[in-house]
Amino acid sequence: MQARFPGYRILPYLLVFPSVAVIIIFLVVPFIQAAIQSFRQTSPFGTVSSFVGIRQYQLLFSDPTYMRSLLTSWYFALLVILGGLSLSLFIAVLVTRKVRGMAFYQVAFIWTYALSPAVAGVIWALLFDPAIGIGTYVFSKLTGVSINFTIQGATAILILAAAAIWNMLGYNVCFYIAGLQNVPRELEEAARVDGAGPWRTFWLITFPMLSPTTAFLVFVNTIYAFFQVFGLIDIMTKGGPGGATEILVYKLYRDAFIRVRYNYASAQSVVLFLIVAATAIFQLWVSTRRAVYLR
Amino acid sequence: MKKQVLYTVGLHATLVLILLGVAFPVYFAFVIATHTHEDAYAFPPKLLPGKQFLANVLEAWTRTNMGRLMLNSAIVAIAVSLGKIVLSILAAFAFTHFRFRGRVLLFPMCMVTQMLPLPVRIVPAYQLMASFHWLNTYYALIIPYLASTTGILLFRQFFLTVPDELPDAARVDGAGPLRYLWSVLVPLSKTNIAALFVIEFVYMWNEYLWPLLVTTNPSLRVAQIGLKMLLTTERTVAEWNVIMAGTILVMLPPLVVLILMRRQFAQGIAMQSTK
């Protein structure tokens, strides 16, 4: 890149300083401290701290509640990602058809994005309230099975996933619309001319062309399902019933701030970081592979 | 021709159905918010609004001191949005208009914010607030949020598309870089500024875990925590009508901001998805 304002030596540093300072002080340093803490053990009154190697991690992976939490998190994230992305891709494909009036729907789906996970949690807790929820009522009328997410673990996680998918729908639809509008029409036309039906055209041309968008949304939804969803869970189930919805971030919160096991919680933070990093690398890999392919 | 009409009608019908399905949870929440406690517990559930909405809103408002909570949320969300806009414009300007030592190192560092969400640094971040004596202050709710990867990328992307003739002309006219930034680039960035404002306002208004940790003083709590307070009263039977009235209050400000600025928001999304 050519410098558009050559000769300024100090100014660029002053310009990036505020952002970089915030990142270092509040993000990078605390994360490094968490990594260090995860290899130490502090005595109950915080007086003595000693190096214990990988003991926190050994404790972590031999703790059945943690392993269960790990499985629950992945199960929940898979539900949210697969369910949410396929539903929103379906909607986005419909609203980008060349038919009059579609512009209205393109904005009409955005709004769930404005609702917080906590708000979604209150609304879905009402919807499936065992006593007065319309969802509970309709479900038992249709199937004859009565559901109660406050005592049935399997039901609770499914309802949480539905609430999360609903909450993220606006965001996902929005990104898929933008992605679909970037797919060159000529490619789809060419496939059609070659005799491919709409279904084949979609899977052979459109869907692969969308892979950067999909990869990005997989990343954002993973972050959502692992972290942002805290408010939803704290409002709806608090990790219950019987730990059935205690995903990693909720267990971390309880171990850190209710059971006050800082070192143990820090090891959990590091594991979470590894999960985020893996997802980010996956996203980067998909989008760069795409770029090479296009060239 | 007939097939075409059928296709159009079918498409609209499908979309209207999905839209109604997506909107239904909020509609049901609103209906419950308009009934008395007894009517809210009617079985089968009521599907048409009643007349108690204002009374319920008033009850939710006074029970949790909601005015104060919403004011706190507004202060924090506006301060963070504006702060992020200013800081990311400055950083993006540096990255696109200057060559300086360390640029290749500092730029990726600004991108790591996405890799370090709160839970991966939660204990030390909390201890840091305690050691700064920032617990129960606006500082804790605002300052740690001020750096924005999204913002830096958004403005960087846009600044790169500005033709070189503009800064060159400014230089010839004797304008320094800051003058150029303020009088030329910032006015050109209006759409991006608006887009980032919506994204960050909504994000910050909806933050939950960090405000829950760093504020315990009721006068510094934010609106999201008000929901938790409404749910956990001593009463044995949940007062859904009051809870839902409070929920509608809490969800309204970001919803209004998003609806008013939906075009800028969609443009911001389009910018992000082509990076």
pLDDT (mean) for B144-164: 90
- Would A9 be classed as within a structural domain? no
Cβ–Cβ of B258/A37 closer than 8 Å?
no
CA distance B189 to chain A (A): 17
Does residue B129 carry a pLDDT above 90?
Answer: yes
- CA closest to A92 among chain B residues: B15
CA distance A84 to chain B (A): 13
pLDDT lower than 70: segments of chain A = 1-2, 46, 290-295
- Would B216 be classed as within a structural domain? yes
Cβ–Cβ of A110/B19 closer than 8 Å?
no
- Would A50 be classed as within a structural domain? no
Nearest to B45 among A23, A30, A134 (CB): A134
- Would B196 be classed as within a structural domain? yes
Candidates A8, A10, A19, partner chain B, best to mutate (most B CBs within 10 A):
A19
User: DSSP secondary-structure letter at A224?
Assistant: I
Q: Omega into B253 within 30° of 0, i.e. cis?
A: no
CATH number for A138: 1.10.3720.10
> pLDDT confidence of B2, banded at 50, 70, 90?
confident
Backbone angles phi, psi at A50, to 5 degrees: -135, 155
Contacts of A231 in chain B (CB under 8 A): 206, 208-209, 224
A40 three-state secondary structure: strand
Q: Looking at residue A102, what is its pLDDT?
A: 86
Cβ–Cβ of B147/A19 closer than 8 Å?
yes
- Would B158 be classed as within a structural domain? yes
Q: Looking at residue A1, what is its pLDDT?
A: 59
Cβ–Cβ of B128/A257 closer than 8 Å?
no
Contacts of B125 in chain A (CB under 8 A): 26, 30
Cβ–Cβ of A31/B124 closer than 8 Å?
yes
Contacts of A111 in chain B (CB under 8 A): 255, 258-259
Nearest to A20 among B110, B178, B209 (CB): B110
Contacts of A125 in chain B (CB under 8 A): 231
Number of folded domains that form chain B = 1
Q: Looking at residue B269, what is its pLDDT?
A: 79
Contacts of B163 in chain A (CB under 8 A): none
- Would A18 be classed as within a structural domain? no
Closest CA to B127 of A270, A230, A262: A262
> pLDDT confidence of B165, banded at 50, 70, 90?
confident
Backbone angles phi, psi at A49, to 5 degrees: -130, 130
- Would B49 be classed as within a structural domain? no
- Would A34 be classed as within a structural domain? no
Mean of the per-residue pLDDT values of chain B:
90
Contacts of B202 in chain A (CB under 8 A): 113-114
- CA closest to A183 among chain B residues: B274
Q: What residues make up the domain containing A73?
A: 60-294
Q: Looking at residue B176, what is its pLDDT?
A: 86
Nearest to A94 among B14, B25, B247 (CB): B14
Does residue B133 carry a pLDDT above 70?
Answer: yes
- Rg from Cα positions in chain A: 24
Q: Looking at residue A294, what is its pLDDT?
A: 47
Candidates A13, A23, A235, partner chain B, best to mutate (most B CBs within 10 A):
A23
- Would A38 be classed as within a structural domain? no
Q: Looking at residue A295, what is its pLDDT?
A: 37
Contacts of A11 in chain B (CB under 8 A): 94, 98, 177-178
Cα distances (angstroms) measured from residue A218 to each of A89, A212, A227, B177, B225 = 12, 10, 14, 39, 28
- Would B161 be classed as within a structural domain? yes
- CA closest to B9 among chain A residues: A99
Whether pTM > 0.90 for this model: the answer is yes
Which residue type is seen at B101?
A: R
Give the separation between CA A29 and CA A22, rounded to whole angstroms. Answer: 10
Contacts of B254 in chain A (CB under 8 A): 114-116
Q: In terms of pLDDT, which residue wins out, B239 or B142?
A: B142
- Would B5 be classed as within a structural domain? no
The CA-based angle B83-B84-B87, given to 5 degrees, is: 85
pLDDT digits (tens, 9 = 90+) for B26-41: 999 999 999 888 788 8
- Would A224 be classed as within a structural domain? yes
Residues 6+ apart with CB under 8 A from B149: B110, B111, B112, B113, B114
Does residue B275 carry a pLDDT above 60?
Answer: no
- CA closest to A170 among chain B residues: B22
Nearest to B123 among A37, A124, A179 (CB): A37
CA distance A50 to chain B (A): 17
pLDDT (mean) for B167-184: 86
Q: Looking at residue A290, what is its pLDDT?
A: 59
Candidates B208, B233, B248, partner chain A, best to mutate (most A CBs within 10 A):
B208
Contacts of A25 in chain B (CB under 8 A): 128
> pLDDT confidence of B205, banded at 50, 70, 90?
very high
Which residue type is seen at A222?
A: T
- Would B12 be classed as within a structural domain? no
Half-sphere exposure for B231 (CA within 13 Å, toward CB): 22
Candidates B47, B76, B207, B273, partner chain A, best to mutate (most A CBs within 10 A):
B273
**CB-count burial class (<10 Å; 0-12, 13-18, 19+) for A6:** exposed
pLDDT (mean) for B230-245: 83
Nearest to A31 among B93, B94, B120 (CB): B120
Q: Looking at residue B234, what is its pLDDT?
A: 61
CATH number for B178: 1.10.3720.10
- Would A108 be classed as within a structural domain? yes
> pLDDT confidence of B273, banded at 50, 70, 90?
low
pLDDT (mean) for B11-21: 94
Helices vs strands, H then E, count in chain B? 16, 0
B174 three-state secondary structure: coil
Q: What residues make up the domain containing B218?
A: 66-231+247-273
Number of folded domains that form chain A = 1
- Would B55 be classed as within a structural domain? no
